[in-house]
Amino acid sequence: MSRLFIPVNAQDHAEGSDSAPVTWVEYGDYQCPYCGQAYPVLKAVQRALGERLRFVFRNFPISELHPDAVRAAEFAEAAAQVGKFWVAHDLLYERQDALAESDLLAYGQEIGLSSQMLRRAFDGAFDAKIEVDFSGGVRSGVNGTPSLFINGQRYDGARDVDSLVEALSRAARGAAVHA
């Protein structure tokens, strides 16, 4: 079983408390159809687990298959600079069929990102952050998206809400026993 090579840290995008008994990491690609299908499932699981869960997203754009994935990741990283990463993350998955640069510029206006900030992002301002996420994923055994890790261990089980809630709840119980 693969382990998370780079531990969750302050550079990550996280929802939920650092003290949550379960940390769930997704390596994702905004243009990946499997990530798009998983998005509403992952949101439902987050709602079900509530305070027991910290959810972390790391960029893993597979640009050879998804030509708009890197620009979408750059857009999300630009949004993070003004505290809107999760707004951008959700918007990108909800509008996954329209991720061309012109779409991203329009989305930027919609959520309050300046075109100057986005131009800077598209010129590579956040490429190092995206590369750190990507290379950490490769070193963790990620070979496709979405790839999920529960408390540092790769999860390759079923991807439906009930199965994920059970796996995460089991991890939370295990964390409580070891606390």
Domain ranges of the chain: 13-178
Residue 23 in this model has a pLDDT that exceeds 60: yes
Cβ contacts of 75 within 8 Å, gap of 6 or more: 88, 92, 104, 107, 108, 113, 118, 121
Residue 170 in this model has a pLDDT that exceeds 90: yes
Alpha helices in 50-179 (DSSP H): 69-80, 85-94, 101-111, 115-120, 127-139, 161-178
CATH code for 13-178?
A: 3.40.30.10
pLDDT tens readout for residues 36-50: 999 999 999 999 999
Q: What are phi and psi of 150, to 5 degrees?
A: -115, 120
Confidence of residue 175 (pLDDT cuts 50, 70, 90): confident
pLDDT tens readout for residues 133-167: 999 999 999 999 999 999 999 999 999 999 999 99
Which of 46, 17, 27, 40 has its CA nearest to residue 138? 27
Residue 58 in this model has a pLDDT that exceeds 70: yes
